[in-house]
Amino acid sequence: MSDRPLADWLARLERRSPESRIDLGLDRVRTVLSRLNADPPDCPVITVAGTNGKGSVVAMLESMVMAAGFRPFAYTSPHLHEFGERMRVAGKPAVAVDIAAALESVERARGDIALTYFEHVTLAALVLARQARPDVMVMEVGLGGRLDAVNVIDADVAVITSIGLDHTDWLGPTRADIAREKAGVARPGRPVIVGEKRRPPALDEALQRIGARPLMAGRDLTWRRSGDRLVIQVGDHALRLQRPAMAGRWQAANAACAVAALTALGDRLEVDEAAMSRGLASAQLPGRFQCLSEAPAVYVDVAHNGAAARELARELGPCSGRSIAVFSVLDGKDVRSIGRALDACFSDWLVAGIDGDRGRSAAAIDAELARIPVSGRRETVESVPRAVELALERAGTHDRIVVFGSFRTVAEAWPNLTEQG
């Protein structure tokens, strides 16, 4: 069946309230949800918040749950290739016609209530979740936590993956401010998994005020590599699991958060150690430090803030040949913190612009890099696809190309990269 009805709906939502428009608060969502009669199905709910790592934790949870024979519903954003990636049933993108029908249901229910793009889509996801009757729901927060539309649903287990400086215009200028907002996904008397080892004291204080039961990285939750295994300790329970299939050293922390979340559910969803191991070994998520080809090595990564850029830099390290960055970010992102983190990783920067909502010109991005300045050669290019073409033309077999900066950067680069790979 044609995806046209969904495309029409998304275009309509974008015209009415661009996806970049943010208006935090739960009152509108609660009201429309009550009209929809779309309360979540009678199953456990895991809500995942954090600056980085949310999508990976969601994918790992899905994979482990399915390895145990259960059927998850996952809600995540943004998508990389197709909109249905945001609403997955048993690991598969929701069908376009079903999403369109859910969006229409929300439209009828909202009446004169003005919903943002994200609120409308989140409510549609809850309609689909109700219809899917899953064994577990895994919900990724869009922005912050406390006032995000996803937080309209009470989590049985909450996860806070990391706390970094991002979206400071909305969440506050310090890590303490951001921590307090993310703590809002926790619920009194219920477990919250915290993967941030160097957390600001404000997070502990906020969780204490809520009355949640935190499992803190470095205290109640630890992880270490042992050969081809990942040893995760959750309280008194030690598990020796397969290492995550997803590349990047940071995925060990994400895996620990996902495993701890399932452990905290207890007998509400029994996923044994063997299923966890199989799930981690098979979980995949496009665009997360993904190697698309070799000779030259071509990587893509959706890193879009300073914290993610620092992790990417640790993983990349030096390159014996030429190392080319294909870089573009959306408006509002801290270009200088990203540039500082990755300065030593690149001999060349191809700085590209992105058109459309929240797009930023190549000249504006390059001006920020010049203020650091980064040490590699810089060149502005009119688009990400053209930058990829130039990188592929210039790179030799021992060189490296890394495409990064946002989901849209990777999405725009993908066709050129996969054709050549």
- Single out the residue of 209, 123, 171, 281 nearest to residue 273, CA to CA: 281
- Banded pLDDT at 3 (limits 50, 70, 90): low
- Banded pLDDT at 260 (limits 50, 70, 90): very high
Kindly state the average pLDDT of the residues 139-149. Answer: 93
| DSSP one-letter code for 197 | T
Alpha-carbon distance values, 262 to 77, 195, 243, 265 (Å): 22, 14, 17, 5
Residue 166 phi, psi (nearest 5):
-155, 150
- Banded pLDDT at 165 (limits 50, 70, 90): confident
What is the percent of the chain with per-residue pLDDT over 90, rounded to a whole number?
85
Helices (H) and strands (E) in the chain, counts: 15, 17
Looking only at Cα atoms, what is the longest distance across the chain?
60
d(CA 135, CA 128): 14
Kindly state the average pLDDT of the residues 116-144. Answer: 96
Kindly state the average pLDDT of the residues 188-194. Answer: 98
Q: What is the pLDDT of residues 53-104, one digit of tens each?
A: 999 999 999 999 999 999 999 999 999 999 999 999 999 999 999 999 999 9
Q: What is the pLDDT of residues 365-389, one digit of tens each?
A: 999 999 999 999 999 999 999 999 9
Q: What is the pLDDT of residue 326?
A: 98
- Banded pLDDT at 1 (limits 50, 70, 90): very low
Q: What is the pLDDT of residue 154?
A: 97
| DSSP one-letter code for 283 | -
d(CA 271, CA 267): 9
User: Across the chain, what does the average pLDDT equal?
Assistant: 94
Helices of type H across 53-163: 54-67, 96-110, 117-132
The amino acid sitting at 248 is: G
d(CA 236, CA 233): 7
The 3-state DSSP class for residue 41 equals coil
Q: What is the pLDDT of residues 4-26, one digit of tens each?
A: 799 999 999 999 998 888 898 99
- pTM higher than 0.75: yes
Q: What is the pLDDT of residue 359?
A: 85
pLDDT over 60 at 2, yes or no = no
- Single out the residue of 312, 363, 360 nearest to residue 340, CA to CA: 312
d(CA 408, CA 327): 11
Q: What is the pLDDT of residue 215?
A: 97
Q: What is the pLDDT of residues 225-250, one digit of tens each?
A: 998 899 999 999 999 999 999 988 89
d(CA 341, CA 412): 23
Q: What is the pLDDT of residue 56?
A: 96
Residues contacting residue 44 through CB under 8 Å, at least 6 positions apart? 136, 137, 156, 157, 265, 268, 269
- Single out the residue of 94, 190, 74 nearest to residue 134, CA to CA: 74
Kindly state the average pLDDT of the residues 128-135. Answer: 96
Q: What is the pLDDT of residue 421?
A: 47
Sorted by where each starts, the structural domains of the chain and their CATH numbers stand as 4-282 (3.40.1190.10), 290-420 (3.90.190.20)
d(CA 188, CA 208): 9
Kindly state the average pLDDT of the residues 168-189. Answer: 90
For helices 175-183 and 201-210, angle between their N-to-C axes, nearest 10 degrees: 20
Kindly state the average pLDDT of the residues 270-281. Answer: 97
- Within 10 angstroms of residue 267's Cβ, the number of other Cβ atoms is 5
